[in-house]
Amino acid sequence: MSGKNSELVDALVNLEEKRVLEMVLKHLDAGKPARKILNDLKKGMDMVGEKYSSKVYFLSDLVMAAEIFKLAMDLIEPKLEISKEREMGTIVIGTVKGDLHDIGKNIMVALLKNDGFTVYDLGTDVPPEDFIRVVKREKAQVLGLSGILTMAVEPMKETVEVLKKEGLRNKVKVIIGGLPVDEKWREIVGADAFTQDAYEGLRIIKGFLGVK
C-alpha cells in the first residue's frame, strides 16, 4: 500500500466511532459522492482485517470495526446509487439448529456485505428446511453453516443432506464455520470447506465464486 490514507480511513482503522460518523456526515454535507466515502470505509475495513491477521487486532476490535462500518453505511446508503458495478454473489448463512452462537457468523456477514455480496442472514437455531427454502428462493450460490457446539455437526450434516435431496448440492457450495470446526467436521458434514476465521472464510467464498 502506498500514499497517505484519508482521515476517514485512519479514523476507521483506529476504531474512532464518533469521528468516523462525524466525518461521513461532513463529507455528505459537502457533496462528496457516497461511492467515494464507501471506498474509504472499505479500505479502512481491509486494513482492520490486515491488523487482525497479523494479531495486532483481536475479535473485539473486529466487532467494533464492523459496528462502525454498519452505522456509517446507514448514513450513506440512502445516497448510494443502487446500481451495482458487478454481481458478487448470493450467500445464505446462519447458525444451525440447536446452537445459539453468532459472533463469528455476524462478523462473516459484515465482511461479506462490506465486499458487496448479497447476504441472507437467517440468525441462530436455524432448521435445515429454512436454509434450503431461502437457498432455493434466492438462488444462492453459497450456503454458510455456523456452529460451535460439538452437537452442531448433526444439523450441519442434515442440512447438507436436505440440499442433496433437493438436487441442489452441485449448484451450491457449502462452507462450515466456527471455532472447533476442522477437516474432520468438514468430511462428516460433507461440506466443501471449513474455516475458524471470518477473513479466511471470505477468501474461501471469493474463491468459490471466482471473484477477487
Partner 1 sequence: MGKSTSTEEAMTPLERINAAMDLKEPDRVPVAPLLDTFPARVAGITLAEYLFDFEKFEKAYEETYLKIGKVDMIDVAPMGLMYFDPFPGMFSTFYFEWYLPGRELPPDRMAEINEHSRENPIMDENGYDLIINEGLYRFFNFKRGSLLDIAKIPEFGMKSVMLKAKWMEKYQAPPMLEGQVAAPYDLLNKLRGTTNFLLDLHRRPEKIIEACDWMVDGLIAIALYMIEMAGAEYILCGSGGLSADFVSPKTFEKFGLPYLKKVLHAVKDKVKRIQCHFDTNWTPLLEYLRELPSKKCYLHLDERTDIFKAKEILGDHMCLFGNLKPSLLSFGTPKEVEKEVKKIIDGCAEGGGLIVSAEVPDDAKFENVKAIVDTTKKYGVYRR
Q: Contact residues for partner 1 (CB under 8 A)?
A: 15, 17, 57-61, 63-64, 67, 98, 100-103, 106, 123-124, 149-151, 153, 179-180, 182, 184-185, 188
Nearer to partner 1, 22 or 87 (CB): 22
Nearer to partner 1, 122 or 142 (CB): 122
Least spacing, CB of residue 135 vs partner 1, in Å? 23
Nearer to partner 1, 148 or 174 (CB): 148
Q: How far apart are CA 46 and CA 25, in angstroms?
A: 22
Least spacing, CB of residue 73 vs partner 1, in Å? 16
Instruction: Give the distance, in angstroms, between the CA of residue 156 and the centroid of all CA atoms in the same chain.
Output: 19
Q: How far apart are CA 125 and CA 167, in angstroms?
A: 24
Least spacing, CB of residue 178 vs partner 1, in Å? 10
